[in-house]
Structure 1
Amino acid sequence: MVTTGGTSLKDDIMRLYQPVHLLLGTPGRILELAKKGVCVLKDCSMLIMDEADKLLSPEFQPSVEQLICFLTANRQILMFSATYPVTVKDFKDRYLQKPYIINLMDELALKGITQYYAFVEERQKVHCLNTLFPKLQINQSIIFCNSVNRVELLAKKITELGYSCFYIHAKMLQGHRNRVFHDFRNGACRNLVCTDLFTSGIDIQAVNVVINFDFSKNSETYLHRVGPSGRFGHLGLAVNLITYEDSFNLYRIEQELGTEIKKIHPHINQAIYCGDLFGMFPWTTVVTMVSKRFRLHVYV
Structure 2
Amino acid sequence: SGTGKTATFCSGVLQQLDYALLQCQALVLAPTRELAQQIEKVMRALGDYQGVKVHACVGGTSVREDQRILQAGVHVVVGTPGRVFDMLRRQSLRPDCIKMFVLDEADEMLSRGFKDQIYDIFQLLPPKIQVGVFSATMPPEALEITRKFMSKPVRILVKRDELTLEGIKQFYVNVEKEDWKLETLCDLYETLAITQSVIFVNTRRKVDWLTDKVRSRDHTVSATHGDMDQNTRDIIMREFRSGSSRVLITTDLLARGIDVQQVSLVINFDLPTQPENYLHRIGRSGRFGRKGVAINFVTLDDQRMLFDIQKFYNVVVEELPSNVADLL
Q: Do they superpose with TM above 0.5?
A: yes
| Residue 124 (structure 1) aligned with residue 180 (structure 2) | yes
Distance in 1 (CA, whole Å) between partners of 2:152 and 2:269 is: 42
Of structures 1 and 2, the larger Rg is shown by 1
**262-271 vs 107-116, greater mean Cα deviation:** 262-271
Whole-angstrom CA distance in 2 between matches of 1:77 and 1:65: 13
Amino acid at match of 1:63: Q
- 1:80 paired with 2:134, answer yes
Is 1:46 the counterpart of 2:100? The answer is yes
| Equivalent in the alignment of 1:70 | 124
How many Å separate the matches in 2 of 1:266 and 1:77? Answer: 50
- 1:137, 1:270 within 8 Å by CA — same for their partners in 2? no
Distance in 2 between residues matched to 1:173 and 1:63, nearest whole Å: 22
CA distance in 2: counterparts of 1:92 and 1:270, whole angstroms: 46
Q: Which residue of 2 aligns with 1:115?
A: 170
1:266 aligns with 2:322: yes
Relative distance call for 1:92 and 1:14 in structure 2 (3 A) is: same
CA distance in 1, matches of 2:162, 2:205: 37
**TM-score, with structure 2 as normaliser:** 0.78
Seen in structure 2, the aligned counterparts of structure 1 residues 87 and 45 have a Cα distance that, compared at 3 Å, is same
Q: Which amino acid aligns with 2:183?
A: H
Deviation at 1:269, TM superposition (A): 6.6
Counterpart in the other structure of 2:231:
175
1:223 and 2:279 aligned: yes
Larger deviation, residues 234-243 vs 159-168: 159-168
Asked if the contact 2:106–2:142 (Cα under 8 Å) also holds between the matched residues in 1, the reply is: yes
Q: Work out which of the residue numbers 230, 233, 255 in structure 1 matches 2:289.
A: 233
Change (3 A) 1:86 1:242: farther
Q: 1:100 to 1:270 in 2, by over 3 A?
A: farther
- Pairs within 5 Å for 1:257-296: 257-268=313-324, 270-271=326-327, 274=328
Q: Contact between 2:193 and 2:246, CA under 8 Å: does it hold in 1?
A: no
The 2-side partners of 1:224 and 1:208 are apart by 14
2:311 pairs with one of 255, 267, 275 = 255
Matched, 1:3 2:52: no
Counterpart of 1:113 in structure 2: which amino acid? Answer: I
1:137 Cα offset (Å): 7.3
**What SS does structure 1 have at the residue aligned with 2:276?**
helix
AA aligned to 1:161 is R
- The alpha-carbon deviation at position 244 of structure 1 amounts to 2.1
Corresponding residue number in structure 1 for 2:66: 12
Runs of 5+ unmatched residues, structure 2? 1-54
Aligned alpha-carbon RMSD (Å):
1.9
Following the alignment from structure 2 to structure 1, what is the Cα–Cα distance between the partners of residues 192 and 75?
47
Q: 1:93 aligns with which of 138, 144, 147?
A: 147
Q: Take 1:49 and 1:138, find their aligned partners in 2: how far apart are those partners?
A: 38
| 1:148-163 map, 5 Å | 148-163=204-219
Structure 1 residues 13-34: Cα deviation after superposition (integer angstroms, max 9, x where no partner)? 2222222211111111001111
Contact 1:57 1:87 in 2 (8 A): no
Q: Does residue 204 of structure 1 match 2:260?
A: yes
* 2:171–2:295 contact (8 Å) kept in structure 1: yes
- 2:198 equivalent to 1:142: yes
The amino acid across from 1:116 in the alignment is: F
Q: What is the distance in 2 between the residues matched to 1:102 and 1:49?
A: 15
Number of equivalences: 272
- Whole-Å Cα distance in 2 between the matches of residues 161 and 119 of structure 1? 22
Displacement of 1:36 after TM fit?
Answer: 1.9
User: Is contact 1:136–1:270 with CA below 8 Å preserved after alignment?
Assistant: no
Question: Is the Cα–Cα contact under 8 Å of residues 151 and 167 in structure 1 kept in the other structure?
Answer: yes
Equivalent residue of 1:41, what SS? coil
Measured against aligned partners, the alpha-carbon deviations of 1:19-62 in whole angstroms (never above 9, x if no partner) come to 22111111110011112222121331111222222223242222
**Whole-angstrom CA distance in 2 between matches of 1:94 and 1:223:** 28
What is the identity percentage for the equivalent residue pairs of Structure 1 and Structure 2?
35
CA distance in 2, matches of 1:170, 1:238: 23
